[in-house]
Amino acid sequence: MKSNRSYALRAVLGSAVVLAVSAPAMAADIYDGGLKGGYEVAAPPSDRGFYVKGYIGQANPDSGNMWNEAYDSNSFTVHHNDIKSSPLYGIGVGWQARSWLRFDLTGEYRGDASYFGSDQYPGGVGFDAGTNEYTADIKSWLGLANAYIDMGHWCGFTPFIGAGIGFSTISVEGLKDVNVPNNGVAFGTDKTTSNFAWAIHAGVSYDVTPQTVIELAYRYVDLGEARSGDVTTYQGDLAYSGHYIKDITSNDLLLGVRYKLQPETQVYPIK
């Protein structure tokens, strides 16, 4: 009896070894040439591939400071320096390099935002104290090269983080400088400034289908600075060479859709 049990145990272990050795070869037969008997099955889907994206959102910009040449000749106190929120619209194309790593190029128009600034200065020899109230329209474009890390998948949801670098172009249009105490008005010519820009991202995506993904994201972006052209008084005299809006950043909220361009894998039943 003991001999029979020993024989059976050796037979089971031997069969397990044979199956373990032959399993990879059997799997290779399935995906390389089809199942024996002529039944075809699809290869496992790839994590890699191109995608296109589109998104909309809200830009919430902030300006760190403002300056013009008059600030060098007197002591100015800045009371207000603000760029209002505006809509933004963007498109992009990307590459899913791994299940956890992707890259894309995006370009966006950041809408028409209103700018408001105000300051005051004390009087001096030959001039009275006064204030300035600045208004203008701000329009900008932003182009970024981005990289993202997808941090796992849970029930279709994928949190991600990312970073990007690129450029911004910011236009200051229709600048008006009103000095109420001194009954003065000056107007700036339109000017567009290009800057280096960078951004960081955080968000979450959801797989609607194997090819369609929606995402909700937050982005902090540094856009650089903007300035108007020459500012002249209503009498035609040059007041200063330009009004600068410095250290422009933005906290953006984005809602987007990604569509994977690789075809969805077809699965054939095994009969």
List the chain domain ranges: 1-44, 49-260
With beta carbons less than 8 A apart as the criterion, state whether 220 and 164 touch. Answer: no
Average pLDDT score over the chain: 85
Residue 18: band (very low, low, confident or very high) from pLDDT cuts 50, 70, 90: very low
Residue 125: band (very low, low, confident or very high) from pLDDT cuts 50, 70, 90: confident
Q: Which residue has the tokens 């208004």?
A: 135
Q: Which two tokens stand for residue 236?
A: 């035609």
- Mean pLDDT across 131-152: 97
Residue 264: band (very low, low, confident or very high) from pLDDT cuts 50, 70, 90: low
Q: Which two tokens stand for residue 33?
A: 């040439």
Is the pTM of the predicted complex or chain greater than 0.75? yes
Compute the half-sphere exposure of residue 53: CA atoms within 13 Å on the CB side of its CA. Answer: 29
Does residue 3 carry a pLDDT above 70?
no
User: In this structure, which topology does domain 49-260 adopt according to CATH?
Assistant: Porin (2.40.160)
Q: Torsion over CA of 263, 155, 158 and 104, rounded to 10 degrees?
A: 10
The model's pLDDT over 153-166, given as tens digits with 9 standing for 90+, comes to: 999 999 999 999 99
The model's pLDDT over 172-208, given as tens digits with 9 standing for 90+, comes to: 999 999 999 999 999 999 999 999 999 999 999 999 9
- Mean pLDDT across 256-262: 93
**Amino acid letter, 123:** G
Handedness of CA 263, 264, 265, 268 (dihedral sign): negative
pLDDT of 108 reads 98
Q: Torsion over CA of 71, 72, 75 and 77, rounded to 10 degrees?
A: 30
With beta carbons less than 8 A apart as the criterion, state whether 130 and 182 touch. Answer: yes
What DSSP character marks residue 54? Answer: E
Q: Give pairs for 230-237: CB < 8 Å, separation 24+.
A: 230/188, 230/189, 231/68, 231/175, 231/177, 231/186, 231/187, 231/188, 231/189, 232/186, 232/187, 233/184, 233/185, 233/186, 234/184, 234/185, 234/186, 234/187
The span from the CA of 84 to the CA of 248, in Å, is 12
The model's pLDDT over 207-252, given as tens digits with 9 standing for 90+, comes to: 999 999 999 999 999 999 999 999 999 999 999 999 999 999 999 9
